[in-house]
C-alpha cells in the first residue's frame, strides 16, 4: 500500500480539525460527561470512548507533520489562506 501525501494546505486543515476536536473533547469531558453522572453512565462512557478512538485512529490528525500547515498560517491558529477554515 502506498503512502498518503498531504500538501501544506491539507495539513493546515488537519491542524484546524485537531484544535476543534480538542475544544469539543474539553466541553464533553469537563461539562457534559460529569452532568450525565460520569463514566458510570453508559452513554457518557461511549462518548469518551469515541473521542479517544477518533484521536487514536487518525494519528492525532497527523500530529508529526503539523508544521506543514505553517505556510498557510495554521500551526496553533485558525486561519487558512486569508480566512477561517
**pLDDT tens profile 11-56:** 778 778 888 888 999 999 999 999 999 999 999 999 999 998 888 8
- CA–chain centroid gap for 81, Å, is 20
79 beta partners: 84
Q: Are 33 and 39 in contact (CB under 8 A)?
A: yes
Residue 75 pLDDT: 52
Residue 84 in any domain: the answer is no
Domain that holds residue 42: 8-74
Residue 31 in any domain: the answer is yes
- Whether 69 has a pLDDT exceeding 80, the answer reads no
Residue 80 in any domain: the answer is no
- How would residue 7 be classed by pLDDT, with cut points 50, 70 and 90? confident
Residue 5 pLDDT: 72
The mean per-residue pLDDT over the stretch 67-84 comes to: 53
Amino acid at each position: 500500500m502506498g503512502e498518503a501525501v498531504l500538501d501544506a494546505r491539507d495539513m493546515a486543515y488537519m491542524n484546524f480539525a485537531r484544535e476543534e476536536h480538542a475544544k469539543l473533547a474539553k466541553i464533553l469531558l469537563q461539562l457534559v460527561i460529569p452532568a450525565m453522572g460520569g463514566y458510570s453512565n453508559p452513554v457518557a462512557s461511549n462518548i469518551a470512548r469515541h473521542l479517544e478512538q477518533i484521536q487514536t485512529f487518525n494519528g492525532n490528525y497527523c500530529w508529526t507533520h503539523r508544521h506543514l500547515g505553517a505556510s498557510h498560517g495554521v500551526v496553533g491558529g485558525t486561519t487558512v489562506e486569508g480566512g477561517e477554515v
